[in-house]
């Protein structure tokens, strides 16, 4: 009710200022994940630490000779470029793009999938969350929810999974 008493131009200015400051504040709480990381990390599965590669975390095919990962980009826009490097720093294969949104202090990237093979239809969503640990390591979480239907008339099965992988930052 109080906004009606103010001149329209002032109300518009106040609203624009509030939107801009909220957007800037949200972006500033996400760490800049740009840097170089070890290609091999660890993930805890059923209470046991296991080895995982950065490409496995991205659900991408493997590449021979990769030892390091370089993430570069514009953190304020949430656009990152991932390069895969050998021991000498030579790029192996094409870069992978990450387009993420800053939510609750983590960069989040969501992708849906809907596929069919051998008569089984699988639909789901993958959510990656990227952040930095206190040690500077990259923390890459993956949450996946999906449902599958084997044949028409058979009740679909739903499932979900979540785990956290860590990749050491290189000097």
Q: Is 24 domain-assigned? A: no
Q: What is the pLDDT of residues 22-67, one digit of tens each?
A: 344 444 478 889 999 999 999 988 889 999 999 999 999 999 999 9
Strand partners of residue 59: none
Structural domain contains residue 15: no
Domain ranges, residue 48: 32-167
Please enumerate in sequence order all residues whose Cβ is within 8 A of that of 44, keeping only pairs 6 or more positions apart, or say none: 50, 163, 164
| Residue 6 in domain | no
Closest CA to 64 of 96, 34, 87: 87
Q: Is residue 100 assigned to a domain?
A: yes
Do the domain assignments include residue 120? yes
pLDDT value of position 62: 94
pTM: 0.77
Q: Under a CB-based contact definition with an 8 Å cutoff, are residues 55 and 62 in contact?
A: yes
User: Is residue 7 included in any domain, yes or no?
Assistant: no
Q: What is the DSSP string of 61-128?
A: ---TT--EEEEEEETTTTEEEEEEE-TTS-B-S--EEEE-EEETTEEEEEEEEEEEETTEEEEEEEEE
Q: What would the pLDDT profile of 114-123 be if each residue is shown by its tens digit?
A: 988 777 889 9
Per the CB < 8 A criterion, the answer to whether 96 and 80 are in contact is: no
Give me the residue label for tokens 């860590």. 166
Assess contact for 69 and 85: CB atoms under 8 A: yes
Give the Å distances, CA to CA, from 146 to 51, 82, 123.
24, 26, 5
The answer to the question of residue 60 being in a domain is yes
Residue 27 placed within a domain: no
Q: What's the total number of domains in the chain?
A: 1
Distance CA 80, CA 90 (A): 19
């Amino acid at each position: 009710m109080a906004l009606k008493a103010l001149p329209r131009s002032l109300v518009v200015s106040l609203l624009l200022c509030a939107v801009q400051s909220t957007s800037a504040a949200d972006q500033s709480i996400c760490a800049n994940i740009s840097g170089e990381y070890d290609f091999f990390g660890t993930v805890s599965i059923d209470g046991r630490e296991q080895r995982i590669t950065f490409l496995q975390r991205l659900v991408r095919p493997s590449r021979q000779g990769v030892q390091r990962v370089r993430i570069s980009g514009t953190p304020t826009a949430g656009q990152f470029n991932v390069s895969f490097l050998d021991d000498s720093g030579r790029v192996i294969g094409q870069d992978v793009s990450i387009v993420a949104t800053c939510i609750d202090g983590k960069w989040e990237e969501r992708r849906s999938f809907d596929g069919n093979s051998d008569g089984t239809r699988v639909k789901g969503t993958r959510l990656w969350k990227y952040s930095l640990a206190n040690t500077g390591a990259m923390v890459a979480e993956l949450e996946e929810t999906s449902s599958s239907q084997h044949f028409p008339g058979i009740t679909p099965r739903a499932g979900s999974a979540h785990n956290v992988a860590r990749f050491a930052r290189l000097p």
